Structure 1
Amino acid sequence: MPYIPAEDRYEQAPYRRAGRSGVLLPPVSLGFWHNFGGDRDLADMRAVVRRAFDLGVTHFDLANNYGPPYGSAETNLGTILRADLSRHRDELIISTKAGYDMWPGPYGDHGSRKYLLASLDQSLGRLGLDYLDVFYHHREDPETPLEETMGALAQAVRSGRALYAGISNYSPERTRQAARMLADMGVPLLLHQPSYSMFNRHVENGLLDMLADIGVGAAVFSPLQQGLLTDRYLHGVPAGSRATEGRFLTEDQATDQTYLERARGLQEIAASRGQSLAQMALSWVLRNPTVTTALVGASSVAQLEDSVAARENLEFADDELEAIDAFAVDGTGARR
């Protein structure tokens, strides 16, 4: 049977404005970094994407090298879009990025005009789209002049292949410079995509304040710290979990006693709020109005639903925040 979206999908999400733009995003968005590569079942991915849209999640975030293998997350979403959501393209914000290793040789990485615009065209082909809503440079490249990189993003927008420009993993200083350069070319910077979680608080050292000052939204990734801010690892490392694979998370991180003590303390606070640890972790990053959306991955519909439910309780009392700060220590769970 053809997919018919839930009629009440826009009554469920309190959409948030991206900086001083006209773009509204759901507080929790679906990220494709994990769980959407060629090693996953298409039917499972399709079920997650459908359920996300039913819940008012209108923003899907990718990058050229998400997989594995590289490009497969974009290919899989393209298949799902054609099967289920082609009639709803104008209801979606679809973003992708380029800036990390993608293909061999000197032109498949970093921040040159050649790499970024070639990657953009490849991403559009894999997704089966005429344009992207947001095209990001994925990371700073100190070897390429910033003017060249921002010029490529501006060209992407002026050519109609992207509607908005974004950057990811940039320092506050380079973000301000990038925003100024784009503005001089008539292309506003819409979003910055940094990592942010209770255990990774670097953005509080100037980046969020600077984004608020220049009117740019934040789409934060890894708000659950690769699963460390869920109940998944509180009682051991499950077989088949990300920690057993050693991809972005190791067993040593998931069994570190300092991490476990802090995560269990946070879980108790979450329970007193009527939330899971993952839900509170998402609500916590969203407490700052500069954070437009939190990007989450989901390997199942149930996992997605648990994350999206965080938007039902985004308020914190002062005493809750004080209690959380005792456990939400920057650097917890980091690789040594």
Structure 2
Amino acid sequence: MATITAAMVKDLRETTGVGMMDCKQALAENQGDMQAAIDWLRKKGLSKAAKKAGRVAAEGLIGAHTAGLKGVLVEVNSETDFVARNEQFQGLVKMVAQVALKVGADIEKIKAAKVGSVTVETAIADAIATIGENMTLRRAASLEVTKGVVSSYVHNAVIEGAGKMGVIVALESTGEADELAHLGRQLAMHVAAANPQALDPAGLDPTIVKREKEVLADKYRQQGKPENVIEKIVESGLKTYYKEVCLLEQAFIHDNAKSVAQAVKEAEGKIGAAVKITGFVRYALGEGIEKQESDFAAEVAAASGRK
């Protein structure tokens, strides 16, 4: 039996764009013959995935899945919004989220995990071949508590647990489970709407805080304010900034007369114990992906030979 080296698997993956485990199997099935392995992948339909790998996939769905003390978010992208309405794709996203809940948020571990007789990576490649669009498992996140609950909220859900935006919030508490879950969902909805950048000021990136201070200071220097006054104004301005971007200091969307911290404190009465928000994650579909803009009229003109 031919020896299959890591270098051979790497070369086949770079040539075809097919997943590592499938490349290894292709080489093993064909005694290390590179061309035969390529043909084997083509016959399996996996090479169709490679042909589409260069396309920008910025649509798709966010999947959320929780079970008691743990919750996950995943983002699976496709090229068009139309695919997000495809039942096979929807099932794929739910399956990926369920796997992530078991194996964690590491993308490579999720891809390598088995679902029945195939890996998640193979299942994605099969969906690409069947549906005809590039798809990618872009990212995943998980939260877990030792006592309490992880709650979720999916905005613009197309099916239960999958939509255009997803949020998970982790609450640590020994209190009444149903009341805690209710608060968790309210907080997840708040995070979806208010998009906080951190739990509290200590969680903000120091470079962002520094830039905010510099912007405020320069603004008042240009107005001719003295430095000792500027310092006080900047501190006041930062407090306002924290109320905009820090979860605990934001006005609660369900009752904007109180902050999120105040709302949590008030809810502790019904819950029957102290509540601590230990983390949150918010995924909006396609954020940070540079989408390709196309001029449809120009494409039609080019196809017909006109300029």
Tell me if both proteins adopt one fold, taking TM over 0.5 as the criterion: no
Report the TM-score when normalising by structure 1. Answer: 0.24
**Greater fraction helix:** 2
Report the TM-score when normalising by structure 2. Answer: 0.25
**Greater fraction strand:** 2
